[in-house]
Amino acid sequence: MKRYTLALFAILCCLFSVAQKNVIDEVVWVVGDEAILRSDVEKQRLEFGSQTKGNPYCVIPEQIAIQKLFLHQAVIDSVSVTDSEVNQYVESEINERILMAGSKEKLEEYMKLSMVQIREELFDQYKNRLTAIRMRDQLTADIKVTPAEVRRYFKDFPEDSLPLIPTQVEVQLLVLQPRIPQEEIDRVKGLLRDYAERVNNGSTSFSTLARLYSEDPGSARQGGEMPYMGKGELDPGFANVAFSMTDPKKVSKIAQSEFGFHIIQLIDKRGDKLKCRHILRRPEVSQADIDSALVVLDSITSDIRNNKISFEDAVLYASDDKDTRNNRGILSNNKPTGETTTRFEMSELSTFSTELARVVETLEVGEMSKPFTMINTKGKTVCAIARLKNRTVMHRASITEDFQILKAMVEEKKGEEVIEEWIKEKQKSTYIRINPDWRDCDFQYEGWIK
């Protein structure tokens, strides 16, 4: 039992013993010093069971165990993801669930959780998932293939065995941020000033206020605490205020970022990185201001249709989205692998914005949408018009048209071979225990049972 304390081992053994008498939950696997509970497996079975190939009580705990191996290695190698990255996925998932349920209230009733609890649960899931992906990517980062290798690999493939390339789209966006009245901005700033005063006079701790009031779901449950981050990893408005701080006992002036308004408390500085707490509050957007923005967009749409201005020029002069404004409105797909492309599969576009995906799906190439509202990646409600620049329909891959995709497939196959060997080695050096009732499985990797 390498690096495995007798005390922890005794505790886990007790858990196994107690679990046998407890029909509600039990420890079914132990990987290193991490337990996998029956409830963990049941939860995933209910959510993803229909997508599981094979016995879910075998497949799901093995998948969880593999993720735990990646997460343990990520800690060793200091591999992490930022809260802002995680929050993009969390907000998109929540928006999709609200649309499916019909309202926030119906979603809370269905899940028997508050919105805060739903966000916290999704945050943990996505943080672990994205960290495991990043760790996996680091293990395969050095894999390269040559054009000759790609041609050799697919040379003898029958045409009907070549992979299907899903439909991909290129989208242009023109975005307007609904006007927020000064009274609403003043209201939010007033709240933040009140929080700061309560911290400064010692009546309430910063972390308590963050847990109660911060609208950043990733850091709120940690008392507003963020990991060590460099200036370039943070929104410039936030970074300028945070990096000017020197006294951990003081609360910052109000900082404005693309996410909203913040107050910040310094925790520590290490070289060019700092650790801090923050409280985020977002001004609320009224329906009247949304309607006003939609009217403006409707006017812009008419001018474009009447050839008074091109879509690209309208974006340059009117769009509030800095990420697309200087790129002719073209939306960029920043993939977890680090690759950036202008092409989106529809599932990827849904992750970016479910509202946008629904609109684009109805458009013909060159067609422009009617004005609509969407939640952007910063969690803000914005109004937009979209134009479908290009659509590549599903087709069989070819070396001439889809070389980069085929190259990526060969790299992925090589990567799978590297990961397979890595998992087998980790199994040898990691303490693993499986409840006897959960061992009768045809596992993908044989080394779980020792």
The domain over range 182-281 is classified in CATH as 3.40.718.10: no
Residues in the chain: 450
CA distance 429 to 432: 9
Q: What average pLDDT values come out for the chain (450 residues) when binned by 10 residues?
A: 35 38 74 91 81 86 94 90 82 81 86 88 91 92 90 83 87 94 95 95 93 88 85 91 92 94 93 91 92 96 95 94 89 76 88 89 95 87 95 86 84 92 94 93 90
Hey, what CATH topology would domain 6-141+410-448 get? Answer: Triger factor/SurA peptide-binding fold (1.10.4030)
Q: Do 392 and 404 form a contact (C-beta atoms < 8 A)? A: no
Query: What is 167-179+285-393's CATH number?
Result: 3.10.50.40
Supply the pLDDT for residue 1. Answer: 35
Supply the pLDDT for residue 21. Answer: 40
Supply the pLDDT for residue 20. Answer: 40
Domain extent listing, the chain: 6-141+410-448, 167-179+285-393, 182-281
Supply the pLDDT for residue 420. Answer: 95
Supply the pLDDT for residue 10. Answer: 36
CA distance 316 to 91: 28
Q: Give every CB contact of residue 228 below 8 A, 6+ residues apart in sequence.
A: 268, 270, 273, 274, 275
Supply the pLDDT for residue 2. Answer: 34
By C-alpha distance, which of 273, 298, 446 is closest to 370?
298
Fold identical between 167-179+285-393 and 182-281?
yes
Amino acid identity of residue 363, one-letter, is: L
